[in-house]
Structure formats: structure tokens, C-alpha cells
Amino acid sequence: MRVIFMGTPDFSVPCLEELVKNEEVVGVFTQPDKPKGRGYELTPPPVKVCAQKYNVPVFQPTSMRDGKALEIINTLNAELIIVVAFGKILPKEILESVKYGCINIHASLLPRLRGAAPIQWSIINGESKTGVTSMQMDEGLDTGDMLVKKSVEITENMNAGELHDALSELGASVLTETVDLLKNGGLNPQKQENSFSNYAPMLSKELCPIDFSDTAQNIHNKIRGLYPWPVAVTKINGKVLKIHESRISDIKTDAVFGTVISVDGGICVACGDGNSLLLTVIQLEGKKRMSYSDFLRGHPIEIGTVLGR
């Protein structure tokens, strides 16, 4: 089958790799190169790098709505468009431009989490399970008919980076099954129930400050969901402290939330529900990420210190 692929970040790459193995990929659309690093060197997106490895033509339009992208698509004579974390909204004329339309690989069990950051929000929201859904795209935001679903367990200490990698590989499996069913006439599209949906907005650094008046579990979920970006933060003695990893402690306490009650096994902090949380991998502003034990050797913390100030 002649297929156009649209995607941009690392998450999309396993899907493109799988598609190249099994189908005729006639073109790849991805975001323009962007400046990165201290030198602001122009850097290609991961999908472009992958496409070039297989000598697949790459297109990087700045807009999908000015008619130029549609002109390119029409010259490629594709039968299907696969979209995986492309980062641009497709207008109706592109959605309807090829025989089988556009199929999206979405990193949640639709309709549970629609939007830009379902991986992170599944953890922040305390979900125990998520997955990948393929859907026939329509003009709504992740509202199209569902085609194939596969799920994974979210374990107690799994962070968003780890879940991202698991779902990226799972997405390739979902994609292969979806295309095979499409070719064999075996797809059974299912309508989404809108009342079961929640929105997963883009992450921002405004989400990062920790409120220790919340429950230990909610704070732990937030720390995991915001790693590796943008990373949860608090303050210690007026300095910003990034929290990379945490663990739920079995210590109960009536101390004021935010108070350091122990430094055994981690920096143990009282939370608003009477439970406590161990901060195990941290990073003081201007310093490197390190384990709590390494941190304490150079920055002793007195019991009774209150974080967030």
C-alpha cells in the first residue's frame, strides 16, 4: 500500500520504522528543523532523520492550510495517510485527500484522554492503565472512530519517560495491526463516547511547583508525570529544588505539610493527608542531578526544615 507518514518526535519513529518495513512509504511530512542547544544549531526532528535513513522523500511545510501541502500530497498518489504525533492540525481537504483517509496513532485508550499530552496526564491523574488507540481521523480533536486498542499497566513508580518509550513501541504494533486489518477489510470502527473523555493539555512550567498540602500519592503522581520534562520543583532555603524521583513512604505524620521529618531512605516530607513522601533523586538550582544521599553530603538538611519556602 502507498502510504504517506506524518510525525515529528521520537515517539513517532518506531511507527515509521515499522511502516517502511511493510508498506511503500512515498513521503514523510514533519515539522521544520528547529534551533536547539546553547549554540541554537538548526536540528532536524527525529522523524526526518529516520526518513532520510531509508531515502524516503521528506516535506517540512510551515502550514498545512495554505494549499501547498495538499498539492504535494496529490502528486504522491498515496492510498493512506498515517499520523503519529505530527504536531499540526490537518484541514478537511487533507483528511479526505486519499482513498482510505487519515489514521492517527494516539497514546491513550480513547476516549479517555484527548489532547497533546495524554502520556503525562495519565500518570498525573493516577491512572493504573493506559495504552494506544488507532482512529480514523475527523475534523475534531482526537474524536474519530476507534479502530484498534492495546493497553499497558502503569506501575507504581513508572515515570512519563518510561511510559513514553513503552507506548512508542506499542504504537508500532497497533499501527501494523490496523493497516493489516484495513487491507483485509477487517476493521470494525467504533464511535467514541464523548462523556467518557478528558482533555490532556500541553505541559508547561506553571505545573511544576509542588503543593505539599496535597496527598502523598497525588504529589508522587505529579513528580512521575512531569519527568523528564518539565520536572516538578519545590524550594529549600529559598533555592529551587528539582524533584526527579520519589517514592511513597510508609511513615505517618502529624507534622505540618512540607516539613522534612527524616532523611533515612530519602528526604522524607510530610504531606497534607498525614502521609509522607521520599524525595530520592533531586537537583538544586545550578547543580547536577544526584541521589538524595549524595546531595546530603554537601547540603545537610535539618529535620524540621520546611520545603516550598
Stated pTM of the model: 0.96
Quick one: which of 299, 161, 304 has its CA closest to 227? 161
What's the CATH class of domain 2-199? alpha beta
Q: Residue-wise over 238-269: b if at least 16 C-beta within 10 A, else e? A: eeebbbbbbbbbebebebebbbbbbbeebbbb
Q: Say if strands 102-106 and 80-84 run parallel, antiparallel, or are unpaired.
A: parallel
Query: 150: helix, coil or strand?
Result: strand
| Category of 103 on φ-ψ map: left (φ > 0), alpha (ψ -120 to 50) or beta | beta
Q: How far apart are CA 18 and CA 11, in angstroms?
A: 13
Query: 66: helix, coil or strand?
Result: coil
CA 75 from centre of chain: 33
| List of residues 6+ apart from 288 with CB closer than 8 A | none
State the CB neighbour count (10 A cutoff) for residue 306.
Answer: 17
Please tell me what DSSP assigns to residue 31.
P
Question: What are the residue ranges in the chain where pLDDT is below 70?
Answer: none
End-to-end CA distance of the chain: 59
Residues in the chain: 309
Domain ranges of the chain: 2-199, 205-298
| List of residues 6+ apart from 291 with CB closer than 8 A | 280, 281
pLDDT of residue 241: 98
| Category of 231 on φ-ψ map: left (φ > 0), alpha (ψ -120 to 50) or beta | left
Please tell me what DSSP assigns to residue 191.
-
pLDDT of residue 36: 87
Does CATH place domain 205-298 in 3.30.43.10? no
Cβ 113 vs Cβ 135: under 8 Å: no
State the CB neighbour count (10 A cutoff) for residue 196.
Answer: 10
Cβ 62 vs Cβ 88: under 8 Å: no
Whether 2-199 shares its CATH topology with 205-298 is answered: no
Q: How far apart are CA 119 and CA 106, in angstroms?
A: 10
Alpha-carbon dihedral angle through residues 257, 259, 261, 264, given to the nearest 10 degrees: 110
179-211, pLDDT tens digit by residue?
Answer: 999 999 999 999 999 999 999 999 999 999 999
Please tell me what DSSP assigns to residue 194.
G
